[in-house]
């Protein structure tokens, strides 16, 4: 592995496994595995992958938070292959779309998962690797493929090279003072690329990854205390829920040394409540779309930059990455473009969407990713989030293209018009779908649940006689949203 980037994700794990072999690497509920035990599992899975799948194949991982998933990710990377996580709660039609688009050659599945799921996947399954011969680490190029919501054609895949992950890990592991004594939270689903931070920043520090069996907001404060968590990472909406449940009283989270938030806009109200609860912790707002590998900008909160309203800034680009505002109506406001060693090169099998999002500036040949996020740059060069150029929303940190929801319903309710809109209520982004005809919405909701992840299913479908319009004849989205927020329908 010496030819790989020194911060390659498997490299950093293996270095910790050599140095801290007997320390606990993974804790799921009350069960624990040492670095030596986890590496042994990974070596066996790598051996199976090498003998049963093509070189540099993509291997799916059923993302149930059990040993099979974590050892599977490590084993796949050790074999020089890349992993494709499947969300255990997504509908089978979603799994099949991900497997077909990625061309996954096999799937690692926990042995206690039902045979019906194995039959749904329709590819070779690995559930028992206890007798597999081990293989040494093999050079690989791609780390994983993550799928996000797409405006057309269902989920779209983002292939992420190992060097992109290494660039992120290099920054995090040198910028922050993590130690083998640390205990990291693991709250993100493995289908969410922020989980890559959880795994490899933790294991790159020789620390313990703590996976709760119940990650509800109601129990999170007690979990942090019971497991002496020192490094927290979540979407801001989880912190907002904890705040609403009065779990963020002053001094409630004394064990925390590092607190990271990403995936959504972080309000100053929530951030300040968190700082009071975790008074011994640094609090850092991270930003980064999947296309820019985990997170690419950061802003650390301090006593001197704290505010009481609005949202926390996105900050500045990390490492050797670059961020640029492409102005529109104002000189310092416009779309955020990103470039550097963390930016990927496009989407899987979607040349048109790749060309629309990955571009070059006239003055250079660097590849830039046009995020679709509108920002303002202040005199200190700090980026502030304003909103989206399009209808894309973040729900519990997950990217949602409302057009994907509309596309599923349009053929079913034709000739009705379908419009899915995001709105914010109680610090949480929600979705609601409107249709301009009266009908029974129960079967429509069932159709959506059968085809979409839970976070993409709208809270309800509202029937309106006709879509309201403005004085200029344009769709009046504000009036539609007010109907829901004010409970007028």
Grouping H, G, I as helix, E, B as strand and the rest as coil, residue 419 is strand
Cβ atoms 49, 41 nearer than 8 A: no
How do residues 298-315 score in pLDDT, each as one tens digit? 999 987 777 767 899 999
Helix (H, G, I), strand (E, B) or coil at 40: helix
For the cut 50, the answer to whether the pLDDT of residue 406 exceeds it is: yes
pLDDT at 97 over 70: yes
Q: What is the dihedral of CA 148, 149, 152, 155, to 10 degrees?
A: 50
**Structural element, H or E, at residue 226:** helix 217-226
- pTM score of the predicted model: 0.87
Q: What is the pLDDT of residues 319-369, one digit of tens each?
A: 999 999 999 878 899 999 999 999 999 999 999 999 999 999 888 889 999
Is 198 within 8 Å of 230 (Cβ atoms)?
no
Is residue 426 predicted with pLDDT exceeding 70? no
Q: What's the Rg (C-alpha) of the chain? A: 23
pLDDT at 1: 41
The dihedral sign for the CA sequence 270, 275, 278, 282: positive
Q: Which residue has the higher pLDDT, 5 or 333?
A: 333
Q: Which two tokens stand for residue 229?
A: 């968590």
Structure tokens at 60: 């799916």
pLDDT of residue 473: 64
Across all residues in the chain, what is the average pLDDT? 91
pLDDT band at 468 (very low <50, low <70, confident <90, very high): confident
**CB–CB of 431/458 below 8 Å?**
yes
Using alpha carbons only, give the angle 286, 177, 174 rounded to the nearest 5 degrees.
70
Whole-number Å distance between alpha carbons of 270 and 311: 9
Task: With cut-offs at 50, 70 and 90, classify the pLDDT of residue 188.
Answer: very high
Which residue is listed with tokens 């899987």? 348
Domains detected in the chain: 9-301 (3.40.50.12780), 401-485 (3.30.300.30)
């Amino acid at each position: 592995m010496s030819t790989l980037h020194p911060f390659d994700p498997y490299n950093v794990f293996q270095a910790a496994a050599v140095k801290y072999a007997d320390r606990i690497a993974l804790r799921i509920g009350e069960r624990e595995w040492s670095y030596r035990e986890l590496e042994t599992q990974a070596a066996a899975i790598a051996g199976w992958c090498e003998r049963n799948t093509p070189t540099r194949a993509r291997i799916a991982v059923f993302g149930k938070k059990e040993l099979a998933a974590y050892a599977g990710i490590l084993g796949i990377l050790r074999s020089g292959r890349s992993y494709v996580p499947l969300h255990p709660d997504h509908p089978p039609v979603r799994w099949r779309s991900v497997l077909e688009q990625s061309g996954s050659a096999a799937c690692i599945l926990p042995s206690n998962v039902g045979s019906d799921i194995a039959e749904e996947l329709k590819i070779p399954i690995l559930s028992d690797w206890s007798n597999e011969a081990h293989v040494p680490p093999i050079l690989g190029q791609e780390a994983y493929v993550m799928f996000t919501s797409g405006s057309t054609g269902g989920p779209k895949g983002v292939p992420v090279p190992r060097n992109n992950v290494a660039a992120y890990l290099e920054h995090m592991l040198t910028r922050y003072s993590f130690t083998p004594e640390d205990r990291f939270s693991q709250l993100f689903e493995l289908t969410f690329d922020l989980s890559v931070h959880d795994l490899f920043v933790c294991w790159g520090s020789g620390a313990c990854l703590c996976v709760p069996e119940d990650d509800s907001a109601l129990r999170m404060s007690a979990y942090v205390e019971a497991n002496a968590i020192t490094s927290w990472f979540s979407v801001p909406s989880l912190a907002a829920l904890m705040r609403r449940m009065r779990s963020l009283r002053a001094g409630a989270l004394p064990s925390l040394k590092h607190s990271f938030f990403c995936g959504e806009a972080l309000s100053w109200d929530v951030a300040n409540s968190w700082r009071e609860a975790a008074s011994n912790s640094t609090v850092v707002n991270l930003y980064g779309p999947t296309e820019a590998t985990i997170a690419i900008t950061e802003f650390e909160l301090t006593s001197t930059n704290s505010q009481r309203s609005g949202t926390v800034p996105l900050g500045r680009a990390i490492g050797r990455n670059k961020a640029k505002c492409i102005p529109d109506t104002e000189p310092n406001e416009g779309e955020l473009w990103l470039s550097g060693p963390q930016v990927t090169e496009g989407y899987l099998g979607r040349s048109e969407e790749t060309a629309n999002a990955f571009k070059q500036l006239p003055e250079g040949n660097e590849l830039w990713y046009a995020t679709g996020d509108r920002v303002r740059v202040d005199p200190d060069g700090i980026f502030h989030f304003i909103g989206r150029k399009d209808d894309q929303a973040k729900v519990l940190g997950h990217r949602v293209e409302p057009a994907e929801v509309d596309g599923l319903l349009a053929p079913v309710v034709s000739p009705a018009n379908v419009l899915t809109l995001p709105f914010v209520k109680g610090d949480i982004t929600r979705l609601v779908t409107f249709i301009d005809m009266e009908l029974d919405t129960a079967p429509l909701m069932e159709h959506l649940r059968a085809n979409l992840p839970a976070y993409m299913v709208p809270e309800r479908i509202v029937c309106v006689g006709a879509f309201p319009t403005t004085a200029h004849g344009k769709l009046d989205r504000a009036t539609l949203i007010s109907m829901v927020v004010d409970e007028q329908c």
